[in-house]
């Protein structure tokens, strides 16, 4: 009952924060007398969604699919690479400069090249989403696996545990909270990556809707609002997964 009450309280605060944001948006439009063709009111955005619900939801599904595919691909590859870097100091010193350089390059620069390499299908969008969230996952995994408390490692040695047993039962479990931080950081970046990919040569997706909205700013804002809701839903799905995988964190941290 207490957990349910806490969940309801969090949901209520989230809804209150959302209502305050919409109210501030509306207040700014009224206070500065902003024309609707520049920034539409929340009511105009809602009307645009009600005019085009099927169109918007169909394209939102495309963006969601590209985002999830890119994120899952990067989560698997990023955790593997992070584990390899944590296992070998030599490999880490050799690879970190290249990873930092890749992360520093604006991903927008890859968009035209991805169109040439992969065509106009979902491939460039999935790869763009993967590129956006690769580095945070690698860094979080490598950091988490490298920060295992020394006393736990000494305990496994005293129990004659194998390297695989030490990794799966101690190091991996100790690194999970840090890995989840990396995944939660990367998820919104995957949404951004999919959207950036859709702004170049796409035939579907919310980025395509925004690009082709033209003077209908209310329709563009409706697509942006759906992107925001999608990011929130995906982020809190990871929060729920974190609660399942590392339930002890809330009881062992301040």
Q: What is the pLDDT of residues 22-72, one digit of tens each?
A: 889 889 888 888 887 888 999 999 999 999 999 999 999 999 999 999 999
C-beta of residue 183 within 8 angstroms of C-beta of residue 137: yes
Question: Which parts of 52-171 fold into alpha helices (H)?
Answer: 53-87, 89-104, 111-118, 123-146, 150-158, 163-166
CA 55 to chain centre: 24
Q: What is the pLDDT of residue 252?
A: 63
Report residue 144 as tokens.
């988490």
Closest C-alpha to 51, from 229, 225, 219, 212: 219
CA distance 216 to 212: 9
Report residue 135 as tokens.
């580095």
- What CA–CA distances, in Å, run from 1 to 5, 211, 242, 247, 250? 6, 47, 21, 17, 17
Report residue 129 as tokens.
């989403």
Per the rule left: phi > 0, alpha: psi between -120 and 50, beta: everything else, 149 is beta
All structural domains of the chain: 38-252 (1.10.3720.10)
C-beta of residue 184 within 8 angstroms of C-beta of residue 136: no
Q: What is the DSSP letter of 1?
A: -
pLDDT tens digit string along 149-198?
777 777 777 777 777 777 877 888 889 999 999 999 999 999 999 999 99
Check residues 202 and 180 and name the one with the higher pLDDT.
180
pLDDT tens digit string along 72-100?
999 999 999 999 999 888 999 999 999 99
The radius of gyration of the chain's CA atoms, rounded to the nearest angstrom, is 22
CB burial class (10 A; 0-12, 13-18, 19+) of residue 222? buried
CB count in 10 Å sphere of residue 60: 18
pTM of the predicted model as reported, rounded to 2 decimal places:
0.88
């Amino acid at each position: 009952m207490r957990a349910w009450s806490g969940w309801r309280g969090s949901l209520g605060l989230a809804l209150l924060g959302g209502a305050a944001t919409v109210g501030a948006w509306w207040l700014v439009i009224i206070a500065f007398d902003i024309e609707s063709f520049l920034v539409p009111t929340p009511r105009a955005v809602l009307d645009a969604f009600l005019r085009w619900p099927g169109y918007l939801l169909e394209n939102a599904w495309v963006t969601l699919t590209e985002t999830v595919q890119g994120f899952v691909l990067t989560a698997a590859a990023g955790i593997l690479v992070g584990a390899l870097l944590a296992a070998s100091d030599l490999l880490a010193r050799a690879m970190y400069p290249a990873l930092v350089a890749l992360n520093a390059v604006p991903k927008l620069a890859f968009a035209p090249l991805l169109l040439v390499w992969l065509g106009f299908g979902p491939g460039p969008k999935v790869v763009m989403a993967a590129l956006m969230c690769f580095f945070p996952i690698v860094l979080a995994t490598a950091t988490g696996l490298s920060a295992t408390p020394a006393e736990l490692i000494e305990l496994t040695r005293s129990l004659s545990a194998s390297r695989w047993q030490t990794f799966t039962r101690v190091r991996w479990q100790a690194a999970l909270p840090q890995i989840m931080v990396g995944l939660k950081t990367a998820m919104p970046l995957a949404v951004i990556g999919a959207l950036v990919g859709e702004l170049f040569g796409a035939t579907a997706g919310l980025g395509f809707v925004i690009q082709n909205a033209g003077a209908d700013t209310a329709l563009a804002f409706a697509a942006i609002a759906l992107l925001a809701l999608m990011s929130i839903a995906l982020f809190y799905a990871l929060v729920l997964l974190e609660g399942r995988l590392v339930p002890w964190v809330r009881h062992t941290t301040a």
